[in-house]
Amino acid sequence: MLRWIMHIDLDAFFASIEQRDHPEWQGRPLVVGAAPSQRGVVATCSYEARRYGVRSAMPISQASQRLPDDAVYVRPRMAHYAAVSKQIMAALETISPVVEQASVDEAYLDVSGLERLIGPPGTIGRQAKRLIKHTVGLTASVGIGPNRLIAKLASEYRKPDGLMAVHPNEVQAFLDPMPISALRGIGPRTAPTLRQMGLERMVDIRQADPALLEKRLGLRLARAIISQAYGRGSDQVQPHSVRQSISKATTFEQDIVDPVRLRETLLWAAQEVGRPARREGLQGTTITLKIRLGNFKTLTRQRKLPAPTADDTVFYRQAWALYQESALAGKPVRLLGLGLSGWQHNAPSQGDLFDERPGPPEHVQTPRRVRLFQALDGISNKFGQNAITLGLRRKR
């Protein structure tokens, strides 16, 4: 069944909220991110700031170099943006009950079947934009297409305040001239690999040798981008998804060596992780310590606990133990944080236990040595030891 998927992406979300809330900042270059004198980057900036070449993820020092003196710099107010986001999502649910929040400022909607109710895809998109403008006073860019990929690319196509609908028979022509950087999963690291292969645009991916792509990118990524180049993508919109992890980290204004401050920071992070975990009723089994050293080398050390927990004290103790075991004492630390993941282990389903795996084809003879192993595989003593764990197999 052919579906219509709509992707909605708010324009310069954080910066637009700040300008909406502070009319005196409208029309001026505005940066949401670190303070210009401090360590950090641009989270989002207004379109006025983009005219000076400022972009998300740009070091704040570089941004302030480019911008005139009347530019405004503000710290992110994440809780506020999340609240605005919630208002938007709730409003969108009046258009279609099938709304998937894809990030703080993005959503996918399945709008199939709304044509008789509202009109053609473009009309549905205009209605969504009008609704958002009316509810929170912000502009959004909207893309509509036969699947998520096309909807997403369409929403990016005419930013800001954009609207674009791509019909199934237009997909290939829409896609072919796009640069490879539009591919999901191709970023600044992988794009050069493709360019070295002479692949610049989507159409080139379609015509490339799949075997060579697999060799250079790995099986999964190669398959993913080939299917994207043909315009294929999921048309499923899933309203609820379970989060996989909770984490908290901070970059110090100056690198830290003092173990007391490191411990204080881990205690803080443990509390920041524990609070939402308990609020959401989540208990984790895996603690991850994250450290970025003064030279920007980034390490993680993780440990699986015997039982799931949401206890700050356990997080803190485990994280500190991981730090001490990491032999990093005395090295300047730029960033420190910890994460929690691995919610309650899933019990194996009946299918996992009883599904038979296919045996070898009849004409393939199992070697004598393999048959010996297979016979021994089933034999173990009361300690759970068997031929292999007892050392019949040599260690490599």
Partner DNA sequence: TCTGGGGTCCTAGGACCC
Which phi and psi (to 5°) does residue 262 adopt? -65, -45
Which contiguous run of DSSP H or E holds residue 370? helix 368-377
Looking at 157-165, 195-203, 229-237, 366-374, which segment touches DNA (CB under 7 A)?
366-374
Q: Rounded to an integer, what distance in angstroms lies between the CA atom of residue 260 and that of residue 167?
A: 60
Residue type, 137: G
Degrees to nearest 5, angle at CA 280 with 279 and 284? 105
Closest CB 115 distance from DNA, rounded Å: 27
The reply to whether 40 sits near DNA by the rule CB under 7 A is yes
Nearer to DNA, 118 or 276 (CB): 276
Nearer to Mg ion, 85 or 147 (CB): 85
27: left (phi over 0), alpha (psi -120 to 50) or beta: left
The response to whether 70 counts as a known ligand-binding position is: no
Q: Rounded to an integer, what distance in angstroms lies between the CA atom of residue 355 and that of residue 353?
A: 6
Query: Which positions from 155 through 194 interact with Mg ion, judged by CB under 5 A?
Result: none
Looking at 130-138, 226-234, 243-251, 308-316, which segment touches DNA (CB under 7 A)?
243-251
65, 207, 234, 324: residue in contact with DNA (rule CB under 7 A): 65
* Residue 183 binds which entry of DNA, Mg ion, none, CB below 5-8 Å type-dependent: DNA
- Beta strands of the chain (E only): which ranges? 5-10, 30-33, 42-45, 72-74, 99-103, 106-110, 140-145, 163-165, 245-256, 284-293, 298-309, 333-343
* Residue 135 binds which entry of Mg ion, DNA, none, CB below 5-8 Å type-dependent: none
Q: Please check whether residue 328 is in contact with residue 291, taking contact to mean a CB–CB distance below 8 angstroms.
A: yes
What mask, x for binding Mg ion by CB under 5 A, covers residues 100 to 129?
-----xx-----------------------
Catalytic residue among 18, 106, 200, 214: 106
The reply to whether 283 sits near DNA by the rule CB under 7 A is no
248: left (phi over 0), alpha (psi -120 to 50) or beta: beta
Query: Which positions from 156 through 215 interact with DNA, judged by CB under 7 A?
Result: 183-191
Please indicate whether residue 106 is annotated as part of the active site.
yes
The response to whether 9 counts as a known ligand-binding position is: yes
Catalytic positions are: 106
